[in-house]
Structure 1
Amino acid sequence: MRNIDAVRGLKDLFVSALNGGTTTVEELHTAIARRPFEALELDPATRLPAAAVRMLHDAIAGGVYWSIRSMMELAGIAAELALTPLEQTQPAEEEPLPAALDLAVSALNGFMGDHLERNRNGLRTRMEFRHEGRAVALEAETLRRTYPGAGRKLAVFVHGLACNEQSWRFYSEETYGDRETTYGSLLEQDLGYTPLYLRYNSGLHVSENGALLAGKMEELVNAWPVAVQEIVLVGHSMGGLVARSACHQGKQRRNGWIGSVRHIFCLGTPHLGAPLEKLGNVMGWALNVSDLTQPIANIVNGRSDGIKDLRFGYLVEEDWRGRDADALLEDNRHDIPFLDSAAHYFVAATVTESPSDPLGFIVGDMLVRFPSALGRGVQPARRVSFPAVNKSHLGMTTHLRMLNHPAVYEQIRFWLEPAAATLTTLGEAQ
């Protein structure tokens, strides 16, 4: 992202927020003022005076709010005019943002990335593979130069909501004494996998990101310097849903990369939904009941499509297309089968030592409950069938801590080592 694009995006977002805030205040004002006017208009003695005063009030108030919005629009136009000359001095290539600001932009995309995308805002995140802070073009020469040790085994890491590829470094210095150590670097060192890190707009529908990832994986494998023998997908939280969606859509499209996917890891993935999003849905529905609180409901319900998909773990377009996204706890999730050519694994965490502890059962890892990460709903129809040997529980651990935890890595390595040994033997035989 160029600095000028970030500044322009912030400007557009600021103007949009002020306009939206003005509209919310106007709607609240109108809803509150309507009550006394309607009461006075019921009395024949005060009906005509009340109607006249109401017309005058509405005209004055409407004019004030229109003026405020107009000034905001003019300010936006003036800022755009000031930015235009600066664009000529900016380099055409991407300029890496400071890490903290980069994470802040990714968090913003998580909460309103669909809005940013619809408005072509300069802060919107595009799906891309990243290496050392920069986007990687999926071209043979670029990939050869970026990954000089490119191997036949790829490990693709897909982050969760409101994060980016840098999140896989969380806790690395605390755990290993080296801020560059990740599951990817360890898998490369121990088992010979070439790690690749995806960045995407987590505010878009999971199905939209799944479709984009399926396309990116096809491009990647076709341009990779050597023939790809094995692909491992590692998804944290929403990333596990995106990986599953990509595999499902890639298989439907008959993409070539699908045949190389051997292992899919879901770390703290809400296969059956996340409780905080369910709570947000209930709050939005309750606030929408009264015209006095509808403006606040509009704000609550303005959270991104990606967040709303987490309510029940939506994977495909059919789950949400033509549905009311704000209907009260309406579950339209379709049963999407796992990719039959790959082994699937899940790692779930709880803040308590045992998942059967009441607190651990209720809050899970603070963001995803243990049954959801396990794919185990109350009703048989609301279950995801993981093989028993491919399940692992991590106690006394929170959701984000799973991004870089030695016990999680050891479990991943344990599951992969037999496959790695088999592939090494096959490679030597060839």
Structure 2
Amino acid sequence: MGSEAEIRAAGRVVGDALAGVVGVVRDTHHAIADRVFTAVGPVAWPVRAAHGVIAGGVYATVHGAHAVLPRLIGFAVGHGWRPARAPLSGNPAGRFSLAVLNGLWGDTLDGRHPELATPMAVRSGGADVPLTTEALRAAFPAAGPRIVVFVHGLCETEDYWSLAADRHATEHPTLGSRLERELGRTAVQLRYNTGLHVSDNGLRLSVLLDELVAAWPVPVEQISLIGHSMGGLVIRSAGRQGAAAGHRWVPAVRHVVFLGTPHLGAPLARGVHTTAWLLARLPESRPVARLLSGRSAGVHDLNYGALVEEDWRDVDPDALPRDNCTDVPFLPEAEHYFIGATLTREHDSPLATVLGDLFVPYRSASGAGDRRRLPFADGNGRHLGGLHHFDLLNHPAVHDQLCAWLAEPDPPAAEQR
């Protein structure tokens, strides 16, 4: 993305955000004032009329001032102003900010500020890799026939797979580097807009994997998919849609690993949704409810782990969340595994049930629900106590377990489910 377009888009986003805050304050103010004036009765009508004129003028002025900000930034850029370096994508803090922005409001960005919306792409060396044989050969000079695709979670980027790498005093600071050296796999990392519906990202992932397999420098013999958090849901959605479309990558998948994936949903997402519903009951708090309801489609999908379009298409997004999610079967040719973490040492203690790994309960990560239960085979799951959600991205215990699972020989064709 060019720095000029990025600066202009960032200015528009800031202007929209400020205007939104002003709107919440204005509407809350009006709701409270209306309740007071209504309680006082007709005697307050002259004051009410004057109040409306004065307050309306003040809010219109403030709103207009915020609307000017994007125009001022655009004018400055057009006349040669540049920051010392790119404000967002050119530095680590900026990339983190973009990831959070995409996660929380990515569907809005996709429609209104596409310059800041993250496209789904293979990443290498801090840049997108075009899905051509020449570009892939340059980005992956040691490309082999067995590839491992890493799909990150909500508000993350591919950089998250190397979290705390400096604290791991080993020759394999990341899972990808260890799989490459010990098992001869080629690690492929993606970046995508986590604010879109999981089903939309699932479709994009399925198409991307099909194009990746077609353009890979050597014939692909085997694919392993590793998803953290929301990334696991995107993988499951991609498998459903890829199988229906007859995509060539689907039969090549031999391992699917879920790290802290909320298969049955995330209580935090449901809590925010329920809070917004409750706030919408009263006119004074309704503006705040609208602000909370503006969270992305991807966050909405985390209520109960929605994987397909039918799970959200005809559902009122402002109604209380209910588990109407479709059961999506595992890919028949692949072994499926999960790792779930809890802050506590034991996964079945009362405190573990409440805290989980901070974001995802162990029952959700293991797919062991009352209405829905994922068919993980015996031995294909692991609990790690004393860890939090983001430890699962790059922890030595996760490395050891995944290397053990992926090193297992493929079952004979007749035994594959």
TM-score by length of 2: 0.93
Rounded Cα–Cα distance in structure 1 between residues aligned with 2:288 and 2:83: 42
Rounded Cα–Cα distance in structure 2 between residues aligned with 1:226 and 1:73: 53
Given the alignment, which residue of 92, 97, 101 partners 1:108?
Answer: 101
Change (3 A) 1:274 1:420: same
Deviation string for 1:102-145 (max 9, x for gaps)? 12211221112122112124322111111011110111111111
Change (3 A) 1:86 1:221: farther
| Map of 1:76 onto structure 2 | 70
| Map of 1:324 onto structure 2 | 316
The residue correspondences of 1:172-211 to structure 2 (distance < 5 A) are: 172-176=165-169, 181-211=173-203
Rounded Cα–Cα distance in structure 2 between residues aligned with 1:89 and 1:295: 35
| Map of 2:294 onto structure 1 | 302
- What secondary structure, in the 3-state scheme, does the structure 2 residue paired with 1:283 have? helix
Post-superposition offset of 1:74 = 2.9
Q: Is the 8 A contact 1:376 1:382 kept in 2?
A: yes
Alignment of 1:65 onto 2:59: yes
Rounded Cα–Cα distance in structure 2 between residues aligned with 1:17 and 1:257: 41
| Map of 2:115 onto structure 1 | 122
Alignment of 1:169 onto 2:162: yes
| Map of 2:304 onto structure 1 | 312
- What secondary structure, in the 3-state scheme, does the structure 1 residue paired with 2:408 have? helix
Rounded Cα–Cα distance in structure 2 between residues aligned with 1:409 and 1:242: 22
Alignment: residue pair count? 413
Which runs of 5 or more residues in structure 2 are unaligned? none
| Map of 2:7 onto structure 1 | 7
Post-superposition offset of 1:397 = 1.1
The residue correspondences of 1:400-419 to structure 2 (distance < 5 A) are: 400-419=390-409
Change (3 A) 1:391 1:324: same
Alignment of 1:275 onto 2:298: no
Given the alignment, which residue of 211, 218, 223 partners 2:210?
Answer: 218
Rounded Cα–Cα distance in structure 2 between residues aligned with 1:197 and 1:369: 26
Change (3 A) 1:88 1:57: closer
Rounded Cα–Cα distance in structure 1 between residues aligned with 2:412 and 2:4: 50
Q: Is the 8 A contact 2:225 2:256 kept in 1?
A: yes
- What secondary structure, in the 3-state scheme, does the structure 2 residue paired with 1:312 have? coil
Rounded Cα–Cα distance in structure 1 between residues aligned with 2:343 and 2:19: 42
Rounded Cα–Cα distance in structure 2 between residues aligned with 1:339 and 1:240: 13
| Map of 1:256 onto structure 2 | 248
One-letter amino acid matched to 1:40 = V
Rounded Cα–Cα distance in structure 2 between residues aligned with 1:421 and 1:191: 17
Deviation string for 1:211-262 (max 9, x for gaps)? 1111111111111111111110000011110111111111111111112111
Structure 1 outlier segments of 4+, above 6 Å: 87-91, 420-423
Post-superposition offset of 1:329 = 2.6
Alignment of 1:349 onto 2:337: no
Rounded Cα–Cα distance in structure 2 between residues aligned with 1:89 and 1:223: 38
Identity rate, percent:
41
One-letter amino acid matched to 1:389 = G
Rounded Cα–Cα distance in structure 2 between residues aligned with 1:350 and 1:366: 8
Given the alignment, which residue of 368, 374, 389 partners 1:376?
Answer: 368
Rounded Cα–Cα distance in structure 2 between residues aligned with 1:176 and 1:420: 32
Deviation string for 1:137-194 (max 9, x for gaps)? 111111111111111111000011111000000011111356x721111111111111
Rounded Cα–Cα distance in structure 2 between residues aligned with 1:222 and 1:85: 45
Given the alignment, which residue of 380, 384, 396 partners 1:394?
Answer: 384
Rounded Cα–Cα distance in structure 1 between residues aligned with 2:92 and 2:36: 53
Q: Is the 8 A contact 1:109 1:124 kept in 2?
A: yes
Q: Is the 8 A contact 1:110 1:306 kept in 2?
A: yes
Rounded Cα–Cα distance in structure 1 between residues aligned with 2:221 and 2:322: 42
One-letter amino acid matched to 2:23 = T
Q: Is the 8 A contact 2:225 2:255 kept in 1?
A: yes
Rounded Cα–Cα distance in structure 1 between residues aligned with 2:119 and 2:131: 14
Post-superposition offset of 1:53 = 3.6
Rounded Cα–Cα distance in structure 2 between residues aligned with 1:87 and 1:136: 30
| Map of 2:132 onto structure 1 | 139
Rounded Cα–Cα distance in structure 2 between residues aligned with 1:88 and 1:284: 40
Rounded Cα–Cα distance in structure 2 between residues aligned with 1:164 and 1:112: 15
Rounded Cα–Cα distance in structure 2 between residues aligned with 1:18 and 1:326: 23
Q: Is the 8 A contact 1:12 1:121 kept in 2?
A: no
TM-score by length of 1: 0.90
Change (3 A) 1:28 1:88: closer
| Map of 1:55 onto structure 2 | 49
Rounded Cα–Cα distance in structure 2 between residues aligned with 1:152 and 1:50: 79
Alignment of 1:385 onto 2:379: no
Q: Is the 8 A contact 2:11 2:69 kept in 1?
A: no
Q: Is the 8 A contact 2:8 2:70 kept in 1?
A: no
| Map of 1:427 onto structure 2 | none
- What secondary structure, in the 3-state scheme, does the structure 2 residue paired with 1:256 have? coil
Rounded Cα–Cα distance in structure 2 between residues aligned with 1:395 and 1:68: 51
Change (3 A) 1:400 1:23: same
Rounded Cα–Cα distance in structure 1 between residues aligned with 2:228 and 2:51: 53
